[in-house]
Amino acid sequence: MPLSNKALIAHVEERLLALANADKAVEMAAYMKTDMPFYGVQKPDRIPILRELKANFKPATQEEYTGAIKALWKRKHREEKYIAINYAALFPQFMTPSAVPLCEQIIREGQWWDFVDSITIDTIATVLRKYPTETRPLIDAFSEDDDFWIRRAALLAQLNHKKETSHKHLFTYIEKMSAEKEFFIRKAIGWALREYSKSEPERVLKYLQKNKDKLSPLSIREGRKHLVKTGRMKDL
């Protein structure tokens, strides 16, 4: 039986309404600095809903997968959009290069770190690991995009690759963006270096030492955290 987006949306809305908390909704909107409405349902309380979706609303095709994500993403409440992003990560069999354009759409429309980071790390990064040859040109294009959220995604798409990280691509992206003033780019550079240092500490240490005059203080501070914690670096 084909997946019914109408039934999917009805289930999600019913569950979120049952859990809604007006006071938390105000707090969550203030924290995210947004006028977008919230139900006031925090992440731990959304996890059971995602389990239900995985069990009862499985897509059978790439088209159903994409359609379900789009249907959830179009909803007005932020938790529904979070669930759209989480739903994308529930079904690895559909996390293919063909899913990247929809992820890009979410980034361009979301324009804030909670949307951008989640869809990038949980879905785009996974697609890049699974299909590097097909996906790399898309990420290369991201690194040169006019939208800094898309450029941030190019950096964060390198996370969780561990020793399989393409350091040549990561360092190339960093070099392209190292002079940028945007906080979210500088932070992402440091984040990417910090995570990579957990797998290749010596390579990241050498990179930081070589490029200390090119990287922002924020990028260096974030990038060196694990190296300092493990005693491999005291200062530049």
pLDDT digit string, tens, across residues 12-43: 999 999 999 999 999 999 999 999 999 999 99
Q: What's the start-to-end Cα distance of the chain, in Å?
A: 60
Residues 21 and 128 in one domain: no
The secondary structure of 122-176 as a DSSP string is IIIHHHHHH-HHHHHHHHHHHTT-SSHHHHHHHHHTTTT-GGG--HHHHHHHHHH
Residues 68 and 102 in one domain: no
CA distance 81 to 75: 7
Residues 8 and 117 in one domain: no
Residues 82 and 136 in one domain: no
Does pLDDT of 201 surpass 70? yes
Give percent above pLDDT 90 in the chain.
96
CA distance 230 to 219: 18
Q: How many CB atoms lie within 10 A of CB 35?
A: 6
How many CA atoms lie less than 13 Å away from 7 in the CB half-sphere?
10
**Phi, psi dihedrals of residue 26, rounded to the nearest 5°:** -65, -45
Does pLDDT of 183 surpass 90? yes
CA distance 79 to 50: 12
Residues 120 and 158 in one domain: yes
Residue 153 near residue 116, CB atoms below 8 Å: yes
Q: How many CB atoms lie within 10 A of CB 47?
A: 11
Residues 135 and 227 in one domain: yes
Does pLDDT of 234 surpass 70? no
Residues 89 and 108 in one domain: no
Element (H, E) at 221: helix 217-223
Report the pLDDT value the prediction gives residue 233, as an integer from 0 to 100: 65
Residue 151 near residue 142, CB atoms below 8 Å: yes
Among the candidates 47, 64, 94, a domain finishes at 94
Residues 165 and 223 in one domain: yes
Residues 133 and 234 in one domain: yes
CATH, residue 153: 1.25.10.90
What's the mean pLDDT when you consider all of the chain? 97
User: What average pLDDT score do residues 94-121 get?
Assistant: 98
Report the pLDDT value the prediction gives residue 182, as an integer from 0 to 100: 98
Domain count for the chain: 2
Among the candidates 94, 118, 140, a domain finishes at 94
Among the candidates 79, 94, 109, a domain finishes at 94
The packing angle between helices 5-19 and 43-56, to 10°, is: 150
- Cβ-in-10-Å burial (0-12, 13-18, 19+) of 136 comes to middle
Residues 71 and 123 in one domain: no
Expressed as residue numbers, the domain containing 108 is 95-236
Residues 2 and 81 in one domain: yes
Does pLDDT of 77 surpass 90? yes
Does pLDDT of 1 surpass 80? no
Residues 102 and 207 in one domain: yes
User: What average pLDDT score do residues 201-207 get?
Assistant: 96
